[in-house]
Amino acid sequence: MTKLSVNINKIATIRNARGGSIPNVTEAAIRCQKFGAQGITVHPRPDERHIRYQDVRDIRPIITTEFNIEGYPSQRFLDLVLEVKPHQATLVPDSHDVITSNQGWNVIKYEKFLRDVIVELQQNGIRTSLFIETDLEQIERAAATGTNRIELYTEPYATKYPVDPEKAVGPYIRAAKKAAETGLELNAGHDLSLENLRYFKQHVPGLLEVSIGHALISDALYYGLERTIQLYLEQIS
């Protein structure tokens, strides 16, 4: 079974554009779960331009499914994660000024750093996942860090899918098989949508979780949040 974790960053982006508390991100998280989402994802960034650190604290008590916090493992981020203790921490290599995540970890370069972070998180009962590309050597080294999972960065798949779906998904099939060989569990995320999600799910083995935000929240403007979540669940069922 593949779970759907809804990233609610864009809800916070809309709120922050006007100030105040509308739309309310905690209420959004409650409703996403009510409508069938099997997890909630947030990605607080240093400038708090969408999800704020206080949002993370406010959301934690109402999570009835799974809470996934993404981010670069700065000391401030790690302090927050250790405070709220999500079910999963997804570590991403974002620099402070990127608009959105745009690359996976160079695990070969940062292996010791990542291993130390992962040990601390796991000692506190938090499952870890590394945001990574489809390079097979990087996946092998990711296993050496002790992480529980990897999250495959799927923007390259989404970009190539309209032209040649088979070619687009090929590297992800190979990456998934390599992950399984090395004992890693598998997540995926970034630019997955109603247009490309079903094909990805059908072809990539062992996919446990997809984290989707921008496309899902955008679709909710047309279909409504409840119907949109049901549409996404249909793609992975």
Q: Is 190 an annotated catalytic residue? A: yes
Given 43, 66, 133, 209, the catalytic residue: 43
CB within 8 A of 122, min separation 6: which ones? 128, 146, 148
Assigned token pair, 35: 């409508």
Collapsing DSSP states into helix, strand and coil, what is residue 200?
helix
Helices (H), 60-106: 75-84
**Alpha-carbon dihedral of residues 228, 231, 232, 233, nearest 10 degrees?**
120
- Tell me the CA end-to-end span of the chain in Å, nearest whole number: 7
Given 66, 70, 151, 209, the catalytic residue: 70
Assigned token pair, 19: 């100030």
The answer to whether residues 79 and 99 touch, using CB atoms and an 8 Å cutoff, is no
Sign, CA dihedral 15-18-20-22, equals: negative
**Tokens 């598998």 — which residue?**
186
Given 133, 151, 190, 209, the catalytic residue: 190
CA dist 114 to 1, 50, 135, Å? 28, 26, 17
Q: Is 87 an annotated catalytic residue? A: no
CA 23 to CA 235: how far, in whole Å? 27
Comparing C-alpha atoms, which of 35, 41, 34, 46 is closest to residue 11? 41
Q: Is 70 an annotated catalytic residue? A: yes
Q: Known catalytic residues?
A: 43, 70, 190
